[in-house]
Amino acid sequence: MATMGMGHSSNLVWWLMLLLMLASLGMTSATMKARARPQCDLLIVSGNPESPPLLSRSQERPGKLTGVVVPYLRETFEPLGITLDIREMGSWARVQKFGIDGGIDLIAGIYKTPERLLYFDYLEPPMTHLKTGIWINRGRKFDYRDWSDLRDLRGSTTIGKSFGSDFDLYARQYLKLERVRSIEQAFMMMRADRVDYVLYEELRGREKLKKYGMLGLFSMLDTPLTRQGLFLAFSKRSPCNTSSLRAAVSKRLADMVSQGRFLRILQAPFYD
């Protein structure tokens, strides 16, 4: 009887070991299948909601963004089989914080700075290049050749705005540059002679001034302050941020740039 009991126990152990082996094989197979699937077929995207005509809050669809960048994004990603959820997620500073923390996968329309490179992987080439201008009250005489001509003057721009690492460093060291919450506030300060100039992109500046009926009050100097690339950038904490996906998107971007798609979309009568 004891021998029979021992044989029964041995058989039970053998069957348990077999079941464990089969379960392990099943798990390995499932893992391999999961790895074989595309990493992401949906990306959460956001950007600066106060930067028309590039991006702005949609009035028809609360919580969404509209602007030139939206169709550009779709043309870039949809051929790759990727759906985009382009969300309005608050102020520009808040959007960047979401990107740093991995709350969104991709930021659309961001300049490159050394600090941001710690948190984002930029996709080359940039969508386009934007000129940052020096805006003054219309009719004012203003001689400008280079940055040093701004040293004895009072300027303004918005909080969190970067004009490239070289100028940002120069401004911190030498310029009287007051940063405010909105570009409208900066222009009104200049209108009241509280500052001598405002730094802002040409494209966005004209759109903002036109919207508020102030385009005739200000002019931009012919010599731009800077010319910077406007990028797409993956959050380093996004699970969708893989070398293979970055390579695929960069190839699409190169095609889009070679076709001049950004300017064509900008010049289209309607975009969304």
pLDDT at residue 40, as a whole number: 85
**Overall pTM > 0.85:** no
Instruction: Encode pLDDT of 174-233 as tens digits.
Output: 999 999 988 999 999 999 999 999 999 999 999 989 988 999 999 999 999 999 999 999
Rounded to the nearest angstrom, the gap between the alpha carbon of residue 117 and the centroid of all alpha carbons in its chain is: 12
**DSSP state at residue 164:** -
Instruction: Encode pLDDT of 98-156 as tens digits.
Output: 999 999 999 999 999 999 999 999 999 999 999 999 999 999 989 999 999 999 999 99
Whole-number Å distance between alpha carbons of 164 and 235: 20
For helices 202-211 and 183-191, what crossing angle results, to 10°? 80
